Amino acid sequence: MELIILFLLLSTISYMVIKRNIGKITTTPIWLLWLALMSPPLIWAGWYMINPNQNSMPPILIFIPLLLSPLLYIWLIEIGKIPPKKEESDHQSPSTMENLEKSPPESESENKEKNKPPHPINAQEEKALRDCFPWGVYYLQKIDYLPQAILCMGKLMTAPEKAYPMVKNNLEKVFEDRFLVIFQETLQGQPFFALVPNPYSNKAQEKLPQEKLTRPGMALVLLLLTILTTTIIGAEISGVQVSELETNPFLILQGLPYSLSLIAILGIHELSHYLFAVYYQIRTTLPYFIPIPFFLGTFGAFISIKSPMPNRKAVFDVAIAGPIGGFLVTIPVLVWGLAYSKVVPMPEQINMLNFEALDPRFSLLFAIISKIALGSKLVADQAIGLHPAAVAGYIGLIITALNLMPVGQLDGGHMVHAMFGQGKALIIGQITRILVIMLALVRGEFLLWAIILIFMPVTDQPALNDVTELDNVRDFLGLLALILLITILLPLPPTVAQWLNL
């Protein structure tokens, strides 16, 4: 039942995303676009509902919808695509208007030239722009004017970490905070500079109402609600029935070990993101929890970053801080909870969410930690009846693994973007999606993961300096994080199982 509710929530979110982003560029009905995009998970979910006792789905039901769905989705967008409207510029100066009134009628070609959108900078500013690129730093070859950016194309003559701050400093002397200076690479690996209007400039902020980033009141209310919902779910995990809660409300306190443990794991995860974002002077909201009165009691927590990352180093540090912080809390919570857990007979049907009889062999890392915590009590063909605190730690492992998936806007996606660049990160994200779908064929509990990754945007927002590479220490930490992901997802190998007597 919980999976159905989660599926409905994901469906609602996807509908809202399509309506907000795609609905502006096509006349095709939103429900039809949603149906085309959702056809694979709808078919898969329907098959598992009809065949609940089977773990493997026919390959034709996997790959045919997966191949046809994006083609149908793109075709539906294209057949109803709204042609772009020609916008008239209203940025002409009074002197320009007077000259237009006094000038004689012009030819058709001249009129077309006049109707082109004006350059965001004048001739004098363009000359100053060219002077911002020293020959020995970045050899500027041409300037292209796009509707939303000025592209400066050329050849990089020095190290990226030296070129970007020097050019950025020169541009700020000329344009102050009028533009954001972005340093990126083309698909062929050629670095270029882009100047885009700065929404955070002093002039822009004067025209727009000030947005309040930190809402401590809302954050506190959501935290208290999440404590309540997770405590209720924790009491149910402890074996307390709803009827017992009605007669003795104090039984709800039995859910506190689960609730406080899970809140600590999620809170430290997001707080780590927040503190590193503040360190790099990135505009961000406080961590907000998402309470739900079913399933786990919460959908997790999040922060919303409101300004671009300064460089790939900041992208990496902010991304990896969350999984590391959450994992450092998860391990002691899991060991503590497992110490109070019971060893029970192995069930016939193995399920990753069966907290009353969980097979520890589904994960290499979980099996090793379980063996350390339970010792000789845990032997082969035995399952674990998880204590509520152990359930929270176990969920913490799953959350860590999901966040480390190197796809799009997940923490792992940010990390591979910072480590390898946007182009390679896009390829890694697509390969990861395919591997998780294949994993869902073998282990049906990963179907929800596959659905989440299908809806996850593959591309990540570029940093302002998206060319300068990471140092060796951060590359090594990123590889360790990916190894951690593998140890959580990899089943316990038979050889190691024999050695651990599991």
**Residue 300 predicted with pLDDT over 70:** yes
Q: Name residues whose C-beta falls within 8 Å of residue 341's C-beta, 6 or more positions apart in sequence.
A: 373, 374, 384, 385, 386, 387, 390
Domain count, the chain: 3
Question: End-to-end CA distance of the chain, in Å?
Answer: 32
Q: Which band of pLDDT confidence, cut at 50, 70 and 90, is reported for residue 24?
A: low
Segment holding 144, helix H or strand E? strand 138-146
User: Among residues 207, 236, 252, which one ends one of the domains?
Assistant: 207
Q: Which band of pLDDT confidence, cut at 50, 70 and 90, is reported for residue 61?
A: confident
Within 10 Å of residue 496's Cβ, how many Cβ atoms?
A: 15
User: Same domain for 384 and 457?
Assistant: yes
**Residue 365 predicted with pLDDT over 60:** yes
Distance CA(451)–CA(158), nearest Å, equals 44
Residue 124 backbone phi and psi in degrees, to 5: -65, -40
**Residue 97 predicted with pLDDT over 70:** no
437 assigned to some structural domain: yes
Give the per-residue pLDDT at 39. Answer: 78
Tokens of 373: 């915590």
Give the per-residue pLDDT at 8. Answer: 66
Q: Give the CATH number, domain containing residue 189.
A: 3.30.1360.100
Residues spanned by the domain of 123:
118-207
In the predicted model, what is the mean pLDDT of residues 33-47?
76
User: Same domain for 343 and 438?
Assistant: yes
Q: Which band of pLDDT confidence, cut at 50, 70 and 90, is reported for residue 397?
A: very high
User: Same domain for 18 and 138?
Assistant: no
Segment holding 418, helix H or strand E? helix 411-420
pLDDT digits (tens, 9 = 90+) for 461-483: 889 999 989 999 999 999 999 99
Confirm whether pTM is higher than 0.85.
no
User: Among residues 150, 183, 207, which one ends one of the domains?
Assistant: 207
274 assigned to some structural domain: no
For the chain, the average pLDDT equals 82
Report the percentage of the chain scoring pLDDT > 90: 41
Give the per-residue pLDDT at 87. Answer: 39
244 assigned to some structural domain: no
Give the per-residue pLDDT at 92. Answer: 41
pLDDT digits (tens, 9 = 90+) for 406-415: 988 899 999 9
User: Same domain for 61 and 153?
Assistant: no
Q: Are 28 and 79 in contact (CB under 8 A)?
A: yes
92 assigned to some structural domain: no
Of 74-78, 180-184, 198-202, 250-254, give the range with the top mean pLDDT.
Answer: 180-184
- Write out the DSSP string of 337-388: HHHT-EEEEPPSS--TT-TTSB-GGG-HHHHHHHHHHHGGG--TTEEEE--H
pLDDT digits (tens, 9 = 90+) for 99-142: 434 445 555 445 544 455 566 788 898 899 999 999 999 999 99
User: Same domain for 64 and 123?
Assistant: no
Q: Which band of pLDDT confidence, cut at 50, 70 and 90, is reported for residue 60?
A: confident
Residue 153 backbone phi and psi in degrees, to 5: -105, 140
Query: At which residue do the structure tokens 């502006």 appear?
Result: 24
User: Same domain for 321 and 416?
Assistant: yes
Give the per-residue pLDDT at 98. Answer: 44
Within 10 Å of residue 460's Cβ, how many Cβ atoms?
A: 24
User: Same domain for 151 and 43?
Assistant: no
